[in-house]
Chain A
Amino acid sequence: ARDLPLTDSVALQRLIAEVRQRD
């Protein structure tokens, strides 16, 4: 499926942390 489900809050927080700007 195209979309990753947005249901796993732990996985989501990890992804969010990965794409934050460093500064």
Chain B
Amino acid sequence: MPVLDRLDPYARLEPVESVTAPFRYFVAEHCLNAAIEPVLLDWLEADAPWALVETDFYEQFEFDLRDADLPPALACLVDPDMLARLRRKMEQALGDALAPHIQMVAHRLDPGQRIAIHNDMREGGETHRLTIQLNRGLDDADGGFFMLFNSDDAEDIHRILRPVSGSAIGFAISPASHHAVSRLHGGTRFTLVYSFFAKRDE
């Protein structure tokens, strides 16, 4: 496995589209360093410490990257300096000041799994989210679409994004930030999920 020392894995992450309604979000493409993405996919498929998590509205495999024994080639993903750069990109994209603390979880959706409509709101919880897609190529028959809604009604669709590997959506969590992931029918859908916290006025 190559050692990619002090590489900024997020250098290419730039919004290609910014939207304010029904909630504030941006879309980006080709977000991860081209050398990192295949190495990360290999590791997620072969060695990552997945644990099945089931709740009342979703079932998927996940693990916290802060707990993981990452290979040297992927250490840059959790490097504090690189995460600080990523935080600044989120601040610029969404116009909010964010605290230094960042949480980072990997998700794996297998065929048959889905995430029902929800808004990510949580008392005292994270305030901004970034999700980066990783997969070997999913076509429309495979499902796993990232769905955005105008309201809490699943029929009130704002748009549906294909899970193109390397693409990302970042958004400000609010009562209106309703989204879901449609059922996966084929392939494997990996996601890196970064959670940020608005900087509080001292």
A binds B: yes
Could you list which residues of chain A lie within 8 angstroms of chain B, going by C-beta atoms?
1-4, 6, 12, 15-16, 18-23
Describe A's contact surface by its main secondary structure. loop
Give the interface segment out of B43-51, B73-81, B99-107, B178-186.
Answer: B178-186
Contacts A3-B161, A15-B182 aside, 17 further interface pairs with beta carbons under 8 A come to A1-B162, A2-B27, A2-B162, A4-B145, A6-B157, A6-B160, A12-B157, A15-B145, A18-B182, A18-B183, A19-B114, A19-B182, A21-B116, A21-B117, A22-B56, A22-B57, A23-B56
Q: In the complex where A19-B154, A19-B182 touch, is A4 in contact with B160 (Cβ < 8 A)?
A: yes
* Residues of B with C-beta under 8 A to A3: 159-162
Q: A15 touching B117 by the CB < 8 A rule?
A: no
Q: B180 touching A19 by the CB < 8 A rule?
A: yes
Interface residues as binary, B85-96 with A (CB distance below 8 Å gives 1, 0 otherwise): 000000000000
B143, B161, B180: the one contacting A2 at CB < 8 Å is B161
Give Cα A2–Cα B164 distance, bound, in whole angstroms: 7
Q: B116 touching A20 by the CB < 8 A rule?
A: yes
Q: Which residue of A lies closest to B185 (CB)?
A: A18
